Structure 1
Amino acid sequence: MAAGMVALAPAEAQSGSPARSGDRNSAPLGSRLQGVQHFGVTVQNMDRAFEFYTEVLGGTEILRDGDFKGEPVHYTILADQEIDAHARKVDPRTIGVPDLKGGSQRLDVRFVQFENVVIELLQYRDAGQPMGNGDSWAEPRAHMSPAYPRSMHICFYIRDDVNFDTFITDLEAECARRGMTQVRANRTIAVRTEDERRAAPASTNTIKIREGASNGWSLIYCKGPEGEQLEFVQVLAPVKQTFADALDRRRQILAGRG
């Protein structure tokens, strides 16, 4: 959604009708945004996920809240799923719809701050289960390939002066020490077993792009402790300048709207 809003900017700039603060509510939709506030990920085990994003990756807790239930919460989050279940003539629970309206299940959230974005962790649990502990009410998805439509991922910057290959090696080791066996980075070569993946040389941890429009971009794909898709990137020149120039252009467009 955010990318779609950004794409509106050139057309708005050409229209010659910048939005002033007094008429913000009649401005183009992109002029009413101030950026991405957070990314959310539904987790199977809240305490485990929280440990990963705060103690391993160094995020800072903003707040935690929970025991959310009742019809307003239920329908705000799940009305589209209720409609789908009704159309298919199936019990909503069979397609992963918890009973927040009746209170049989509850929703807990924790917000974690990084430098430029917030991550929200969500867990849907049975009412009798203590907050933060144990598994979620719903079963985790069986297939987690990023090629599935609607899949999303969280991407973290690696600082320019950090050895990327060493970072990934250390991340895997720290997570293994904590028993987070899901945290496994892919390799740039064919590996058919977990033993082969672990034995691959450190030089295969990271794909480094050194030509074309993405010249300077390095990345790895990695699953998080909940099986969520993560990406770690290092963005060096010249592609780093490409992003910086694009941000400057956007700021100039937004400044022109008032």
Structure 2
Amino acid sequence: MSRVSPLSQATLSLSRARHGLAPWARIAGLAVCALLTLGPVVWTVSTSLRTPAEAFDLPPRLIPSNPSTEAYRGVFDQIDVWLLALNSTLVTGLVAVGQMITAGLAGYAFARLEFRFKKPLFGLVLATMMVPLQVTIVPVFLVLKSMSLTDTLLGLIIPAFPTAFGTFLMRQYFLGMPKDLGEAAMLDGAGPWRTFRSVYAPLAAPGLAIVGVLAFNYHWNEFFRPLILETSGQNYTLPLGLVSLQGNLGTGSISVVLAGVVLSMIPAVAVFVVGQRPLREGITSVGVNR
């Protein structure tokens, strides 16, 4: 009958301890990450429900003693929330749809079509990701001014249609699809456009959903471009309109400012929750195909 050496016993015990500790360590790590991520959000919502006098209580309390929605009424009294939300919805919705279209077409072209200077052009597209927005805003402003599109919502929408990241993402997505599908469609007489529209585009729906959700969340919170391109209050987006609430900081009404922040977060959170499933499926399918 074989005997287990003390060294083997120690190694086995250590391995069992690691396996027993690993799940708890992961849970603890995820809990810390969740606390760091959701902590500021919870604190923002909590402070928005406080009265101005209670907002600066020491020591601070997470749960307000007398929750009130007066701060939210103050937001609607001071700014036209519905107009700002409508402008933001039009801009971000159209930009998201436009980026889904341009990223899908460009990604398919770089992945499945053959043409001259294909690799240098794709490298040029990727190079634009390294150019800060602040560098291109002046030429974009001059072009829009020559087209009489400054201080219009179209001036925010049209320049945002091209997306280098979306093109790269969709190219990788199309590269992960079998070539046999496109070749079979071409043998049946389908051209490149018909092959894309009838074969590849439906299969790329999860990838396009990723582009759309990311574009919506980014442009919903965008502040710099609207600040430069928009001058009339009727064309302000929600993040730009919320700046007018900063005057409440001088009077101690920080609850009104944070109530506006909470209102601006609701659509972005709703889109993320609705698009979470296709987003997860798209990322998973890209990893499996690659």
Greater RCO between the two (CA within 8 Å, min separation 6)?
2
Relative to its length, the structure with more helix (as a share) is: 2
Relative to its length, the structure with more strand (as a share) is: 1
Q: Normalising by the residue count of structure 1, what TM-score does the alignment of the two structures yield?
A: 0.25
Q: Normalising by the residue count of structure 2, what TM-score does the alignment of the two structures yield?
A: 0.23
Task: Look at both structures and tell me which one has the larger radius of gyration over its CA atoms.
Answer: 2
